Structure 1
Amino acid sequence: MTADPDISRQIPAPQVLGVLALELSDDSTPARDALGQQAAGELAKLLGRDLGALVPGVRELDLSFAAAHFDPAELLRPGWPVHRRLDELRVRAPQAGQGPRIIAFGADASGAVPLPFQSDPQLAGGRLRVLPYLFVGEPAATESVAAHMESTLFDLGMVQADTALCAQDAFGARIEHARYLTLHDLLAMTAMQYRNQGLDPLWDVLETALLAPESEAWLDAPPEPLLRHVDGEVRIAMLAPDDWRRRCAADESDDGRLAKGFAMYEARQRQLSAVLQAHGVPVVFVHVAPGQDPVAALR
């Protein structure tokens, strides 16, 4: 299970989308969701310095950075909405002088986090928190930077010690590891994580929703729930117990095991739905009439 290597076709050119990924200690919770403007600017300058040393040509591009942390699922959504909003704010930022800019966004003067950078509290608590960054510049320079980042950043993108310490102090959280990733790196890392969590069967559907939302994809592999991605949403077939038995447990006759199996099937539906919705993919539950072909019901 790997992420589509052609994620670039979903990124508006000329742009490079990435994240500063912070892996927190097990018992650590950030004290702040976003940094104030001064701290955000300091962290952005360190990020620009680190990546400027790692990737040739980075210093020729505008850097936009949101000093607010998210669950990875909040950035891996159809259309990459957080990065797109970051770019919209970049366009509106004033130009001071000539040459590339470093533009940082964070909490306002009162400490409030602006809406585009408010993380979902229901997705808080994970050890990996990610902060979005965006490089923009002339097409040739941006394409060169993008290619270099995709080929080297996953292996070499460790954050410098003073940058990690700055982030740790600013957010009030103990950080075990900090690294720079492209958005494609984050997608590939998420695919690996989901495989380890037993979510491998869902990946083709989720990947289609993220990278090719106009395309169709199915999860049709009993005893897994039946799913279809179409028209930008995922439809999940809701089966009656007898239809579930015919599809997923035809050889089972024990009533107790059947009842337990159906309950586990419904729990699996809820799990897959929750993962999809965390990634901003609309989910529709389709009730299948008793005896109806569930594949036909999702068409």
Structure 2
Amino acid sequence: MMRTFRVAERKGATLAHDPATGLTHRAGRDLPTGRLALDAREVGQWPVVHPAACGGSTPVSVCWSPVVRCNLHCPHCLDDKNVSELGTAERRRIAGLIGESDILGVDISGGEPLLLGDLADLAGELTSAGCVVSVTTNGWHLRRRAAELADHVDAVKVSLDGPTGLVHDAWRGKDSYNRAVDGIKEAVDRGLTVQIQSVLMASNRTLAQDLVRLAQRLGANGVTFLQMLPIGEAVRLGGQEMLSDSEARAIVEDLEVPDDLSVRVRTRDGAGGFTVIRADGQVWRNDRPAERIETLHALRTPADLALTGPDGSA
């Protein structure tokens, strides 16, 4: 399956960033740089490089959350709801700053990014600058916006915390499962690459295999199981729902995975060192493992994206 990746040279190595999985791979052959259509199966066999080991003056990828608003109220949300949102002009300014940097991939998140009327314009500015762009959404508005997104983003990541409405809606609210599934179907029909993302918790750990089967039926590209991070509102659930990284790995390693589906787990260690641009234009980075926030400052120039971690690395 051919998909769009961002290829760049960093630290003497050729890297290919996957907007669907969020992973960065060390290329197994010579490639030109830029936005390239590559065989996803081939790229998936190349070694994964942790963001902290990618080199370069800026992070290899960032999560940009230009919106705080959300139509759902999930108890495991990572967001700080007290953060203010910048206006349209400031969002365009930030998109421009990201585009001027050597960042390879941008995941536009929230809040709920599909509440932004200018989402497609922001994504288009980033792809025009050479980035690969994904959007992480709860899927509620995806059906009506899938056609618009298909012309501007490289992947859509849809949150599903269970393989049925009974399970998922218990976390995210009535009808959220049906809306997400309908959105996934529409996105797939429109030719979008869809990655299902699921927060792996003690209460849904036995349902992981059923979620993989659902992803295959819906035509998704793959499933990323996310370890719960004790940040934001999720702090209150950590004690009862949080699994260890070793437990999460064991669950995913035991899954039966169809050949046409990619399945991975993002551990807390794997999420460490990740850079986030907040809705108010402030930039922060997770520590490693990702259990608290480090280094908050304003994004005014591309140089402000070159964060320095506790070990002195960028």
Both proteins in one fold, TM over 0.5 = no
Larger radius of gyration: 1
Bigger strand share:
2
TM-score using structure 2 length = 0.25
Q: Which has the higher contact order (CA 8 A, sep 6+)?
A: 1
TM-score using structure 1 length = 0.26
